[in-house]
Amino acid sequence: MKFFARVPNINFMAQRKLGLTVSAVLTIAAILLVVIRGLNFGIDFTGGVLVEVKYPAPVQLEKVRADLASAEYERAVVQYFGDSSSVLIRLPPAGKESSAQVSTHILEALHASEAGITLRRIEFVGPQVGEELFSAGGLALLFAFMGIAAYIMFRFEWKFSVGAIAALIHDALMVLGMLAIFQVEFDITTLAAILALIGYSNNETIVIFDRIRENLISERRLDILDVVNLSVNQTLLRSVITHLTTLLVLSALFFLGGATVHGFSVALIVGVIVATYSSIYVSTNLAVALGISREDLLPAKDKEIDELP
């Protein structure tokens, strides 16, 4: 118990300039990755046909692609779903073909080289629905940023709000950059993970900001950097325990949850790790760079007392 009562004494702000530089470089790199390499949008956003089939034994994806190409499905995207005998096939929008016709054509193409294949499910998403989901997801992110900015500005001060929003954008871009590197499918569950990450990251930032506000008022003999270091150190153990327990749950989801929630768990695992860093070296660091002071937070009467000779 004594270990949990100890407050470490780490000078985080000694590396504040390096932290801002690293964050800026990583943010630019993430933007370039998203723009150049692009995201692997799922059927939720692109529209098309999703078919899941089950083979009687493990199968090579190259064989499945060849069978589909012979039936003029050259643009099919094929991947394993859970194990090497379950295959997920994504096709462009089917045009005038019905779900029954698409499933029949695909099974005929696959049965031509192997028997015993069963159809597990088939889903259709029209291009218009995909565009609407993409627009709705973008608006959800925008409103989340605006709401959080307004909340922090109301509860603290605009300098804190700028730092918090910068951290949220940084975290979201880091996750998107990772998804672009490894081409993890970006579907509606991945978008939900990013929205959840925004709330999680914001909570981490508010915990530190709240302690900074308390210490700015109570520890008036310390300068700003010392107050920030003290506040981060006081919340450090709480943050480490919270992050580790969260990562433990997310790891279980990643390894045991199946392919359906793979993108969701990957996005949150990366996001939680990044949020640990950004709550110190992006949000707090930027607030310090903007010149937070006691005068920004003190009530009017306290300001008048401090100004007395």
Single-letter amino acid code for the residue at 144: A
The per-residue pLDDT for 308 is 47
* Same domain, residue pair 243 and 187: yes
Does residue 2 belong to any structural domain of this protein? Answer: no
CB contact at 8 A, 175 and 194: yes
| Phi-psi region at 291: left, alpha or beta (left = phi > 0; alpha = psi -120 to 50) | left
Question: Which residue's entry shows tokens 């991947």?
Answer: 79
What is the domain-level CATH number for residue 238? 1.20.1640.10
SS3 at position 96: coil
Does residue 168 belong to any structural domain of this protein? Answer: yes
Nearest Cα residue to 281 out of 6, 7, 23: 23
pLDDT under 50 in the chain at which residues?
1, 300, 302-308
Assigned token pair, 290: 């903007």
The per-residue pLDDT for 305 is 44
- Distance (Å) of CA 187 to CA 46, 107, 253: 9, 26, 17
Last residue of a domain, one of 93, 125, 157: 125
Assigned token pair, 110: 């696959």
The structure's pTM equals 0.80
Question: What are the tens digits of pLDDT across the range 41-76?
Answer: 887 787 788 888 999 889 998 888 888 888 888 778
* Same domain, residue pair 109 and 140: no
Last residue of a domain, one of 125, 141, 163: 125
Question: Which residue's entry shows tokens 């509606």?
Answer: 188
* Same domain, residue pair 181 and 74: no
* Same domain, residue pair 139 and 256: yes
Question: Which residue's entry shows tokens 């981060």?
Answer: 232
Number of domains in the chain: 2
Question: 69 lies in which domain range?
Answer: 48-125
Q: What are phi and psi of 63, to 5 degrees?
A: -65, -40
Does residue 25 belong to any structural domain of this protein? Answer: yes
Nearest Cα residue to 205 out of 143, 151, 247: 151
SS3 at position 47: coil
Q: Is 252 exposed, middle or buried (0-12, 13-18, 19+ CB in 10 A)?
A: exposed
Does residue 308 belong to any structural domain of this protein? Answer: no
Last residue of a domain, one of 73, 99, 125: 125
* Same domain, residue pair 156 and 254: yes
The per-residue pLDDT for 130 is 67
Residue 189 CA to residue 195 CA, distance in Å, equals: 10
